[in-house]
Amino acid sequence: MTDADNNTVELLLTRPLVDDQELVLRALHEPFWDAEKQRATPSAFGNGNFFSLSRPALLPEAEIIERWREDLERPERRLEALAEVQVSVIRACAPPEQGLDLRLSVFADPTEKNPAHAELVGSNQAGTQLRKITRGVGNRILKQCRIRIL
């Protein structure tokens, strides 16, 4: 890893954390969501380092959905559902006692388009290196979510 990479990782992992009690939302759309089967893949929350979330505590849910539609929808791709879960529940899906050396953190990550944007990030327990969120952990998170069809 270069110094620049290390600096980027440090910047990513030192952003303000979202409170454990907050609810966060994740947009579910193709190809992570199958509307006909009403089923998602664990890859909606796993098999990667970063996952986009939004915070209804900062912006009404209807506005968040409106921004998702502007950002994610295409004529052939509808936003079809959302997953709702509490931050503490996400964090509990990779408990330190399992020895995974995976820490799940939800960081505030406001953007111009979505001031309520947040990011779920996998890191080592020390919070110094990024770690892939496994499909198993992604599936655990998915099972804890309340899925709502839009």
Partner 1 sequence: MNPQSSGFAGRAAEYCGCEWMGSTDPGWNIAVFAESQVRWIAAATQLRGTASAIQMQLVIGSRARRSSNRADPSDPLERVTKTIAVKLGAQAARRLKRLGTFADGWDQGHGRALTEGTLLGLERLLALADFADLDVALFLSRDGHLLLNWPDANGELVELDIARDSVMCFMASTGDELELPIEPRAVSDLMTRVR
Stretch that binds partner 1, among 15-23, 37-45, 55-63, 87-95 (CB under 8 A): 37-45
- Find, among 26, 28, 54, the residue nearest to 40 by Cα: 28
Residues 47-76 that bind partner 1 (CB under 8 A): 47-48, 50, 52, 76
Judged by CB under 8 A, the residue of 56, 136, 144, 147 near partner 1 is: 136
Q: Kind and range of the H or E element at 8? A: helix 3-13
Q: Are 7 and 99 in contact (CB under 8 A)?
A: no
Nearer to partner 1, 20 or 34 (CB): 34
| Residue 31 CB-half CA count within 13 A | 0
Q: Are 90 and 19 in contact (CB under 8 A)?
A: no
**String of contacts with partner 1 for each residue 71-110, x by CB under 8 A:** -----x----------------------------------
Q: Are 114 and 64 in contact (CB under 8 A)?
A: yes
134 near partner 1, rule: CB under 8 A: yes
Stretch that binds partner 1, among 5-13, 27-35, 61-69, 122-130 (CB under 8 A): 27-35
Q: Judged by CB under 8 A, how many residues of this single chain contact partner 1?
A: 20
